[in-house]
Amino acid sequence: MFLKRQATLLILAGILAMPAASIAATEETASESAVLSGGAPEFSSYERRVVARGVAEYSFKLCVGAGPYDVIGLHRVVKESAPNVPAPTAQAVFLAHGDLWGFRPAFLGDVPSVLPLPSPTAPSLPVFLAQNGVDVWGIDFRWTLVPATETDFSFMQSWGIATDAADLGTAISAARFARVAGGNGFGQVTLLGWSRGGQIGYAYLNNESQLPRGLRQVKGFIPADIYLKTDVARFKSLACTRQQGEEAFIAGGTYANSTGSLISALGSLAIADPNGSSILNGPPFNLPGFTNREAGLLVGEATYGLQGGLEPTPSYHMTGGNFDATGKPTGLLYTADQALFELEKGASPFQPYREQAEADAATCEQTDVPFDDHLADITVPVLYVGAGGGFGDSGLYTTSLLGSTDVTSNIVSLNAQRAFDFGHADLFQGINAQSLVWQPILTWLQAH
């Protein structure tokens, strides 16, 4: 199995490094090879699109199992030396997304059909890093690719943190092989995990720390606005309560959390009919008087209000914003309204309860999980990035449990009141995120 996967990654690497005109022939050859070996083609859906002047995104889907939804997405955002020719780079970073959103909505954002003239502000973190000579890669975890039309989620019953961590390792391997094919060498990458992706990053590094150093793939870690462990008793108690609820859903045969379907609908309505009456006005929500725009803002500004009192930190929210005297949101402070609505619109319809339950189990610490046993063996340099209105400085405790001696942090806090502070998604969507968040990340990457 290991040799087969390595062969697949070598084929994938060659495709990612070649001109688009050669793709079809290579896919045919790969398919023939897979048939001869008794398996199905393990990659598909090659796509290249320009995302900024001189910068392109390459993307693939990669099979990681025998089931119809055992598929992950792989993305590369990189400066090109010529069309379809990625420029060699010394630095590579791999991005792992969190709940609700895959790589594109979480990190890349909406790409305009007509590219704007060069601007001092890059449209997204991947483009900004690519423009500055970093080879940026990212994953779509398998649950993000499950279509909204699916009704039988039995396949999702066992999709937990271990599943995500294994898929992350496969995706990083593919990225490294592709970099070899492009003349970059087989060097390690830096891993950035945002939100749940940070917890998956901890799980992956926990496992990788037990491998011989020559087999380790990650040289540095950037957990973005998240904790896996906490020394705050209330946070731990809330994690236990969340875990109990998630385990109850699983025991009852409900394996998929469909919150993303609602978030996507709210974002779509906020864009298409901002002044229309929101679906939140009726049952089961019964929040009367909200327009679609106000409902879309509510998801970002008052995320904590939609979490049933089980939010991971006080006043936890995606985007900082203002409210009127009645408590309705009136607008965002750090991110453009449209950017939030586009983010919401891009939410994946389903996510495994098993993944969420296992993550909460690691925080609760009443149920043993295998992916947090070796945190003290993680020794790579770490940059913790936090948002004052998100997880903020509560994410520092997990970093103190690591064996790393090079640990720094950048926590963006712009308001003394948490409810109005820089939010969880402002890190990547914010108007000033380039100077507040992305540039410090680039500086750290260059120093490491």
Look at residue 24 in the predicted model and tell me its pLDDT. Answer: 33
Look at residue 184 in the predicted model and tell me its pLDDT. Answer: 83
- Give per-residue pLDDT as tens, 332-370: 999 999 999 999 999 999 999 999 999 999 999 999 999
Residue 131 CA to residue 111 CA, distance in Å, equals 15
Q: What sections of 114-232 are H helices per DSSP?
A: 125-131, 161-181, 196-208
295: pLDDT strictly greater than 90: yes
Superfamily of domain 2-233+375-447: Alpha/Beta hydrolase fold, catalytic domain (3.40.50.1820)
Look at residue 448 in the predicted model and tell me its pLDDT. Answer: 92
18: pLDDT strictly greater than 80: no
251: pLDDT strictly greater than 60: yes
Asked if 305 contacts 317 with a C-beta cutoff of 8 angstroms, the reply is: no
Look at residue 19 in the predicted model and tell me its pLDDT. Answer: 42
More confident residue, 290 or 36: 290
> For 180-184, which contacts have Cβ atoms below 8 Å and span 24 or more sequence positions?
180/13, 181/10, 181/13, 181/14, 181/16, 181/17, 182/16, 182/17, 182/86, 182/88, 183/88, 184/88, 184/89, 184/90, 184/92, 184/135
Please give the share of the chain, as a percent, with pLDDT higher than 90.
81
Please give the share of the chain, as a percent, with pLDDT higher than 70.
87
Q: CA distances (Å), 311 to each of 219, 399, 405, in order?
A: 32, 21, 31
- Give per-residue pLDDT as tens, 41-72: 356 678 999 999 999 999 999 999 999 999 99
The mean predicted confidence, pLDDT, of the chain is: 89
23: pLDDT strictly greater than 50: no
Q: 3-state DSSP helix/strand/coil percent for the chain, to nearest 5?
A: 45, 20, 35
Look at residue 118 in the predicted model and tell me its pLDDT. Answer: 40
Specify the 3-state DSSP secondary structure of 138: strand
114: pLDDT strictly greater than 50: no
Domain regions of the chain by residue span: 2-233+375-447, 259-348
- Report the predicted TM-score, pTM, of the whole model to 2 decimal places: 0.91
